[in-house]
């Protein structure tokens, strides 16, 4: 059942039927009702491809996934983020499209997306320091918003980010207040912008208290469980091991905990742990009392906020970019305690 058939059944022109269904004013109320009834009856809904060819809008939002390492997608954070965004898209009638870039040439991927008209806008995930995508997208004039920021990217662009610097600074201060001096940082990949900011916050807190940072206590890699475990085990074996650890995600924190327990130590007593908690649905930080003391910020919520922002930009691409900086809470759980007295 397409528009032509429907209009023939009704004895009307395609024009009128189309207008009736799209809520244009210049159609008789009675006619409109007839049309709507017929559409319902015959289960008609317009062909998306034809509509978008005619209007120039595709009603879909793109998420580009770099293939080489499919970091984004397999990262458990991805699901919650995307689910948040998907909720908004659904409400507004948008679909969500994932494009898989074969190799590093994201520039080409975006150019294609723009030219092929597959999407109306894109969300940029996992921005790196000085991320080239931002320049490409502004040049192409394809509406976009960034989840996070990219230091060094000159342009004025729209983003939503957590105040990573401040939250990790606060977490570090919290540990310093508890008397810890040997505080380790198990960070995410440091070419990621957020990881840089977290490290900056951590260093800032140490500096203000006159604690000299120890490079052997600063680790950085992808935020997996195995990595958290590996680095922790490694550091606990040092002659002067850390008494506190800052982890970048629940997943790596779980590895941290495993290593601590394997070493026969008690978390929150022998070694304190603070993690960043994205409030993943499947990995809640405990039900009543938090398992980990944590800097908390919902990535699901971030997905929603970003999606809404993007749809606004699509509506009015010339508007000045918006920026939202979310503050993370510091919630106290059972994984932190006073520094053990060296005796």
Partner DNA sequence: TGGGAATTTGAAACCGCTTTGGACGCCGCA
Partner DNA sequence: TGCGGCGTCCAAAGCGGTTTCAAATTCCCA
Q: Under the rule (CB under 8 A), what is the footprint of a second copy?
A: 1, 43-50, 52-53, 58, 60, 65, 67, 70, 73-76, 78-80, 82-83, 86-87, 89-91, 95-102, 111-112, 115-118, 222-226, 229-230, 251, 254, 258, 261, 280-284, 286-287, 291, 300
Q: Work out the burial of residue 331: count CB atoms within 10 Å of its CB; fewer than 13 is exposed, 13-18 middle, 19 or more buried.
A: middle
CB 289 within 8 A of CB 334: yes
Strand blocks (E) in the chain: 60-66, 95-101, 121-124, 144-147, 159-162, 183-187, 218-220, 244-247, 272-277, 293-296, 323-326, 329-331
If you compute the radius of gyration of the chain from its CA atoms, what whole number of angstroms results?
25
Q: Which residue in 250, 169, 259, 258 sits closest to 205, CA to CA?
A: 169
Nearest to DNA of 44, 89 (CB atom): 44
Q: Which does 11 bind (CB under 5 to 8 A by kind): DNA, a second copy, none?
A: DNA
193 is written with which tokens?
């912008």
Minimum distance from residue 8 beta carbon to DNA (Å): 10
Query: CB-side exposure of 49: number of CA atoms within 13 Å?
Result: 2
Minimum distance from residue 63 beta carbon to DNA (Å): 24
Minimum distance from residue 147 beta carbon to a second copy (Å): 15
What angle separates helix 14-21 from helix 29-41, to the nearest 10 degrees?
Answer: 90
Q: Which does 216 bind (CB under 5 to 8 A by kind): DNA, a second copy, none?
A: none
Q: Which of 11, 93, 264, 342 binds DNA (CB under 7 A)?
A: 11
Nearest to a second copy of 197, 229 (CB atom): 229
User: According to CB under 7 A, which residues from 154 to 193 bind DNA?
Assistant: none
Nearest to DNA of 13, 266 (CB atom): 13
Minimum distance from residue 325 beta carbon to DNA (Å): 37
Counting contacts by CB under 7 A, is residue 18 touching DNA?
yes
Q: How far apart are CA 38 and CA 177, in angstroms?
A: 71
Q: Give the Cβ contact number of residue 131 at 10 Å.
A: 23
Minimum distance from residue 59 beta carbon to a second copy (Å): 10
Minimum distance from residue 39 beta carbon to DNA (Å): 10
User: According to CB under 7 A, which residues from 20 to 79 bind DNA?
Assistant: 21-22, 26-29, 31, 44, 46-47, 50-51, 53-56
State how beta strands 323-326 and 272-277 pair: unpaired
Which residues are at the interface with DNA (CB under 7 A)?
2-4, 11-16, 18-19, 21-22, 26-29, 31, 44, 46-47, 50-51, 53-56
């Amino acid at each position: 059942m397409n528009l032509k058939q429907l209009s023939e059944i009704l004895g009307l022109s395609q024009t009128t039927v189309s207008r009736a269904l799209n809520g244009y004013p210049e159609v008789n109320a009675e006619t409109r009702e007839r049309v709507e009834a017929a559409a319902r009856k015959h289960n008609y809904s317009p062909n998306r491809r034809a509509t978008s060819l005619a209007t120039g809008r595709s009603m879909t939002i793109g998420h580009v996934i770099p293939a080489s390492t499919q970091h984004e997608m397999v990262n458990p954070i991805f699901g919650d983020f995307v689910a948040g965004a998907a909720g908004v898209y659904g409400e507004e009638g948008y679909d969500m499209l994932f494009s898989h870039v074969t190799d590093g040439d994201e520039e080409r991927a975006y150019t294609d997306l723009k030219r092929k008209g597959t999407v109306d806008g894109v969300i940029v995930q996992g921005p790196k320091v000085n991320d080239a995508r931002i320049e490409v997208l502004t040049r192409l004039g394809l509406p976009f918003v960034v989840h996070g920021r990219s230091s060094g990217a000159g342009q004025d662009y729209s983003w939503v980010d957590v105040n990573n610097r401040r939250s990790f600074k606060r977490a570090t201060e919290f540990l310093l207040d508890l008397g810890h001096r040997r505080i380790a940082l198990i960070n995410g990949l440091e070419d990621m912008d957020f990881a840089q900011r977290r490290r900056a916050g951590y260093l800032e807190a140490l500096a203000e208290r006159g604690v000299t940072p120890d490079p052997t206590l600063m680790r950085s890699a992808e935020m997996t469980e195995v990595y958290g475990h590996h680095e922790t085990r490694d550091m606990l074996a040092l002659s002067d091991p850390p008494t506190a650890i800052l982890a970048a995600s629940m997943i790596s924190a779980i590895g941290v905990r495993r290593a601590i327990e394997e070493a026969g130590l008690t978390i929150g007593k022998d070694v304190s742990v603070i993690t960043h908690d994205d409030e993943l649905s499947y990995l809640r930080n405990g039900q009543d009392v938090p398992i980990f003391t944590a800097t908390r910020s919902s990535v699901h919520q971030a997905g929603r906020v970003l999606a809404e922002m993007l749809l606004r930009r699509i509506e009015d691409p010339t508007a000045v970019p918006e920026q939202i900086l979310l503050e993370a809470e510091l919630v106290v759980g059972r994984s932190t305690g006073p520094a053990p007295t060296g005796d």
